Each structure stands twice: as C-alpha cells, then as structure tokens.
Structure 1
Amino acid sequence: MTPVLQARGLVKRYGKVTAINGADFDLEPGEVLAVVGDNGAGKSSLIKALSGALIPDEGEIRIDGEVVRLSGPLDARRHGIETVYQNLALAPAQDIASNLFLGRERRRAGVLGSVFRLLDTKGMRAEAARVLGELGIGISSMTQAVETLSGGQRQGVAVARAAAFGNRVVIMDEPTAALGVAESGKVLELINRIRERGLPVVLISHNMPHVFDIADRVHVHRLGKRVALVSPRERTMNEVVGLITGALRIDENGQLAEVAHAVTTGLRTGETGT
C-alpha cells in the first residue's frame, strides 16, 4: 500500500542544534501510528513538519505518494491533515458549534451571507450535533460554552473538529495528558471510532499503556530520527522503552540487540533538540 503520509530524510537545524536529523516517517491507510520518544528526541519537531507548522531544511514529505511542500498549517489542512494540539486551540467562551467551525465558519445562503455576511448558526449547530453524535461524544447542547465542559469533553470537541475536516490524516498530540482514567478511556474510544471511519491517526504519547492499547504500529524516535518501527503485538513495553532510551537497538537482521554503556549523548551535547 502507498503510505497516506510519508517523509524521507527530513532535517531541521536551529543554529548548532539539529532538531530533526534525517528523519523518516510512514503512515499506512486506516492505522493508528504511535510516535514515542524521550523529551528532546525530536518528535515534536517531526510532527510540526508533518502538520505544516515547521518547514524542514532538507528532505521531502509525500501525501499519497506525491511530493508536497507544506508552507504552513493552513496548507496542511488543504491537504486533509488536521492536528489536535495539546493545548486544544479552543475558544473557551464560545459555544461548541462555534469551536467546531472556528476559522471555517459557514455563511447563510444568498444575500444574507454574501452581502450582510450573516453566519449559518443553525446549520453549524446541526452539523456539530451530527459529528459529535457519530463519534459518540455525549454533549446534548451545541450552545453550551466550552469553558463549562470537563477536560475529556473539551478533548472530544477538539477531536470532533479534526475528524469533521480531516479527510486524510488526524494528528493528535498527547490527547490523554492531564486526563483521569475514565476520560482517557473515552479519548481512546474516540481514536478507535476515527480509525473505524477509515481515517488514519498519528498519536504522540508518553503513556505506554495507552500506546499498546490503541496503536497498530509504534514509531520510536531518538536523537532526531526514527530508530525503530515496531508492532506492539511483537514487542513488549519494556523493549520499546529500551529502544527509546538507547539501551536497545534493532540490528541489521531486524533483531533486538543490547547497546553497551548506552547514554543519551546527543541530548547532553545539543546534537538534537525538541
């Protein structure tokens, strides 16, 4: 299968610091791909490059096999890539429907929309209710202000927005961070529902139990590049942690091998960044 989203040899430097150091990336159709790595491994920079928030110095990004240049987040959106950031990027004082269509508001038909620029509030609320209903997000009123919602419900609104407008890829940055057990479970259910709709998901997470619960494959990022791409059904959690820390590596035969005196020298010397 042709990967939906692919990168080869991405490099991004900030002066003497190399944040992305020849990174590769492959997202297959309909899968949940977890991206894991220590703080400073470069995974955030990689995701920013894939979502258009960062322009790499070298390498290429492909969508459905075609090389593209993502000049910004809006450009990534036009290619069907939606990102749910850790801060959710919601407007707390506005209602749910307004947040779902934030920056993409619909105007009323005819003169009322084209001349007087009136919004189609009724239509947006109906569409918001439909999308949230399909994803099983239990919020009854689309007129409710986002600031009155729980953390899990706010995450649900952000995920629903990405699912509503993303037609190729949904990228989720630490979606269960700061959530309780019950709310985290609901977010994982949302990810499952998005996958069931045929939309691939990139999940950035430090929570290894969540990764092993939901991911089809795990992309291990270290020192600015991918060091392993493994299946959670074939590798244990401890083995993936070993790959993250550098205590283990994948040899030329695809087997795990121990690394003697493994230390994160790249992180300590500034060879790789965020």
Structure 2
Amino acid sequence: MTTPVVQARGLVKRYGKVTALAGSDLELLPGEILAVIGDNGAGKSSLIKALSGAVIPDEGEIFVDGQQVSFSTPIDAREAGIETVHQSLAVAPSLDIAANLFLGRERRRPGVLGSVFRMLDRNGMREEARRQLDALGIMTIQNPGQAVETLSGGQRQAVAVARAAAFGSRVVIMDEPTAALGVRESRAVLDLILQVRDRGLPVILISHNMPHVFEVADRIHIQRLGRRKAVVDPKSVSMSDAVAIMTGAMEPPPDSTSDSTSEPTADQAPD
C-alpha cells in the first residue's frame, strides 16, 4: 500500500467546551490533489492548522512519509517540507516580489559582505524568483523587483503559490486560493495548482467552490462535525451528492472512507 506523504490519525482539538476536531483522520497520497470540503464549523481550518503547525492538537498523531512528527510552530512544519498558502496570503505589500518569495529565508551576499556586514543578495534572489515564476508558467509578472502592492489579486496569489512551490519539498497546502478572485484570475490560480502537482508536489486544497474542487481534485475529503465523513472520487460522485454528504442530507457511498458512522454531539467551533 502506498505510504501517505502526510497522514493524520485521530486528531482532537478543543477550545474549552467547544470541540473543533473530534478524532479526524486525513491521508494525502503522493502526486495527488486532495480537496478538503465541509460546511462552516466542520473543522477544516483546525485540521489544516494542525497539519501546518499553527495549532497543536490535544490528541492524535501526524506522520510525514510514515514517520511520526510533532509540530509546535509553523516553522517546524516548514522544516518538514510542508508549505501553506493562507487565505490572507501573508505577503508584505511594500516589499518587492523577490523579497516576498524569500520572506524569512533571505539570502546573504557571499563572503565578508554577507557574513560580517549582513548584506542581502538582492540580485541573486531576484534571479531565483524569476526562475521560480517561469517554472510555474507565471507570465503576467515580468519584473521580480516590482512591489507586491502594485499587483492584482491574482498576481499576489501567484506570488504566494510560487513561494510555497519554491520551498515546499513534500506538501503544499492551499486555503481558499480563489476566494477573492474573479473568473480569469481564478482560472490562472487553478492552472498554477495543477502545475505544482505536475512538478511532483502533492497539494491539499481547501475550498468552498465546488466547481473548482471537481475540476482539479483527484480525491475529495469531506469534513463534517469535526470528523472525516468520507473520501470520495470526483469521477464517481456528483457535485450535488458531495454537498449532500457534507450537509448530512445523504450518507456516503459504501466504498468511501470515513472516520466513524456516528456523529459527535459536541459543540463545533467555527472554521
């Protein structure tokens, strides 16, 4: 059986009396786009934050390439090769594209200028940024020295995706990457997601946009009331059936994967 690149088992996260995760599982296989869908309060955000090191689960285990790991901070997840593109993008608008690509990983100039005077290798970072943008086919951005605040929403999203693809060695997680974009820019971001997958990086995609999910996902993880309700194949399950499973109006097909047949009764935290 193929070893998942990232696997979560029985994750539990409580905020006082509110249970955000009630024993949730997840498996991301090599070379796939795994979409995570669920209604508000289903625990999607808490699940992804646990995988990216933003929150520490109260119970459960996380594995990367079959080895158990423990993330205390997002830096720990990054060191394990997990990069996350958050809905808020986390870009610095006043900095240029190259500086954003290397944010927190700035390169120093070689020799004394870098080691003693701590000068940044701006030209080297801009050349590498250009290579990363070209590798992903991002042709709408011509100048890596351009300030991010001058870019459109789709171009800013492209910068965040390029940063994740440049440094993510195992997994790229994308949280609602097309939520605030128009039709044309959404199309460009979806193409970027496919490009990242085609470069060999598996992707976890969190989205409320069902047409986008069914267009790019290889499998769909349906989260409900803090648990994994089902994992379905978008080629064999219709969009309306996936929504019905997500809302509890329909039981998942017998060949799907789920955490439990029983529904937790604890209060749920908002996503």
Q: Name 1:24's counterpart in structure 2.
A: 25
Q: How many corresponding residue pairs?
A: 264
The 2-side partners of 1:254 and 1:135 are apart by: 36
Report the CA distance shift for 1:60/1:265 in structure 2 as closer, same or farther (over 3 A): closer
Matched, 1:116 2:113: no
The 2-side partners of 1:163 and 1:91 are apart by: 18
Q: Name 2:16's counterpart in structure 1.
A: 15
Q: Deviations over 1:173-205 (max 9, x none)?
A: 000011011100000000010011010000000
Q: TM-score, normalised by structure 2?
A: 0.95
Structure 1 gap segments, 5+ residues each:
256-263
Amino acid at match of 1:108: R
Contact 2:197 2:203 in 1 (8 A): yes
1:246-265 matches, within 5 Å, as: 246-250=248-252, 253-254=254-255
Q: Name 2:220's counterpart in structure 1.
A: 218
Amino acid at match of 2:244: G
Contact 1:16 1:271 in 2 (8 A): no
SS where residue 251 of structure 2 aligns?
strand
Q: Percent identity?
A: 67
Q: TM-score, normalised by structure 1?
A: 0.94
Contact 1:96 1:146 in 2 (8 A): yes
SS where residue 239 of structure 1 aligns?
helix
Of 168, 174, 191 in structure 2, the residue corresponding to residue 166 of structure 1 is: 168
Contact 1:18 1:273 in 2 (8 A): no
Matched, 1:51 2:47: no
Q: Name 2:100's counterpart in structure 1.
A: 99
Q: Deviations over 1:49-81 (max 9, x none)?
A: 000001001010000011100111000000000
The 2-side partners of 1:272 and 1:147 are apart by: 34
Matched, 1:199 2:201: yes
Amino acid at match of 2:215: D
Contact 1:84 1:173 in 2 (8 A): yes
Q: Name 1:237's counterpart in structure 2.
A: 239
Q: CA deviation at 1:254?
A: 3.0
Q: Name 2:259's counterpart in structure 1.
A: none
The two structures, once aligned, show a CA RMSD in angstroms of 1.5
Q: Deviations over 1:99-158 (max 9, x none)?
A: 000010000111110000000000000000000011011211111100000100000000
The 2-side partners of 1:11 and 1:270 are apart by: 13
Structure 2 gap segments, 5+ residues each:
257-262
Contact 2:22 2:264 in 1 (8 A): no
